[in-house]
Chains A and B, each alone.
Chain A
Amino acid sequence: MKILLVDDEIELVSAMSERLGLRGIEADFATNAIQALQMAGEKKYDLAVLDVKMPGISGLDLWKLLKEQYPEMKFIFLTGHTSQDDFKAGTKTGHNYLLKPISFDALLERINQSISGSPEREG
């Protein structure tokens, strides 16, 4: 399984990448959408974890670009929104997402669900 983590907070994605690596999950990271698109063009990722709000191209816009180019890719969103309702109202979508600060166990569960094709849960 190969995962691409995208968030403008390098401390966040580098720590997440290392923690996933310690559990045997290959996870690269990018700190902006341009870098993420470039990396996705060079390696096949099964799943992308995207921060919703990033400078320049947002996580939602990046999702549209990646989804178009890589239809098989799965997605999980990270958001600083304070509640599920707030996130839904802000994005007008029903995406698979986690609220920051994330529970790492919840992230692992969500990754496994996404890859195995289990029904997605919110929150």
Chain B
Amino acid sequence: MNKEEWEKCYARGLAFFGRISANVSHEIKNHLAVINELGGLLQDLSIMAQKKDGLDPDRVDRLAGNITAQVSQSDKIVRAFNYFSHSVDRTQTSVDLDEFAEIMVTITRRLAAVKGMELVYNQEKRQHSPVFTNPFLLEQLYHFCLEHIIAQGKSGLIISLRIAKEGTKGKLSFSCPEPVMGNIPEDDYLDLLNQELKASIECGRDKRELVLTIEPLSF
């Protein structure tokens, strides 16, 4: 990578990191807002109970359960975000595509949700699928694919992600029931990422599938 390419990589990579960080912080704040209101409601009910009627144990149990569920979802997002944040630590490492896909879907699900779409990791058989690559650049390629599909799709669309290994190559396949994919518009930075990761993105199955293929990097 020459100096100009490196500068582009730095700027676009930073912008990508910022976009994901903002998205995750919004999602965590939404969970905190729900927890805050449920806690407030519990407090209100407790005050009411002291004044007149007793507390309904089932009601309290349901509210407490909802709070626990919100904390659990927040924790999942924070753990995924921590994985994402550490992806810049090493430029070449073994990435388990199964874990990668689950993490990326967790932290980018909201990007689809705000457009009324659903993003799911739809792997029938979960298995360790390591590929030696640059995780941060791979995350950016994933994001290129996802943003392209979201831009083409309409509210109600379900986007499924699957992974596969073919020999030493790794594949991330985005699919949806409607023919909305098309080819990703030309972009110098996308070309650079593809070149660095020995990757390619192809549209298939009558525009219902977008497949990101990466080859392992050499030491």
Residues of A at the B interface (CB closer than 8 Å) are 9, 11-12, 15-16, 18-19, 22, 53-56, 78, 80-82, 100-102, 104
B contact residues, total (Cβ < 8 Å): 23
Interface string of B28-48 (1 = CB under 8 A from A): 011011111110110010001
Given A18-B41, A56-B155, A82-B25, residue A11 in contact with residue B113 (CB < 8 A): no
Cross-chain contact B29 with A80 (CB below 8 angstroms)? yes
- Chain B 11-27 near chain A by CB (<8 Å), digits 1 or 0: 00000000000000111
Among residues of B, the one whose C-beta sits closest to the C-beta of A32 is B116
A interface majority secondary structure: loop
Of all chain B residues, which has the CB nearest A78? B33
With known contacts A22-B48, A100-B33, A53–B26 Cβ distance under 8 A: yes
The B contact surface, by secondary structure, is: helix
CB within 8 A of B37: which of A15, A56, A80?
Answer: A15
22 contacts between A and B (CB under 8 A): A9-B30, A11-B34, A11-B70, A12-B37, A15-B37, A15-B40, A18-B41, A18-B44, A19-B37, A19-B41, A19-B44, A22-B48, A55-B116, A80-B33, A82-B25, A100-B32, A101-B32, A101-B36, A102-B36, A102-B37, A104-B37, A104-B40
Given A12-B34, A15-B38, A101-B36, A55 contacting B29 (CB threshold 8 A): no
Q: Which residue of A lies closest to B112 (CB)?
A: A55
Known A18-B41, A54-B114; 19 more pairs at CB < 8 Å: A9-B30, A9-B34, A11-B34, A11-B70, A15-B40, A18-B44, A19-B37, A19-B44, A53-B26, A53-B114, A56-B116, A80-B33, A82-B29, A100-B30, A101-B29, A101-B33, A101-B36, A102-B37, A104-B40
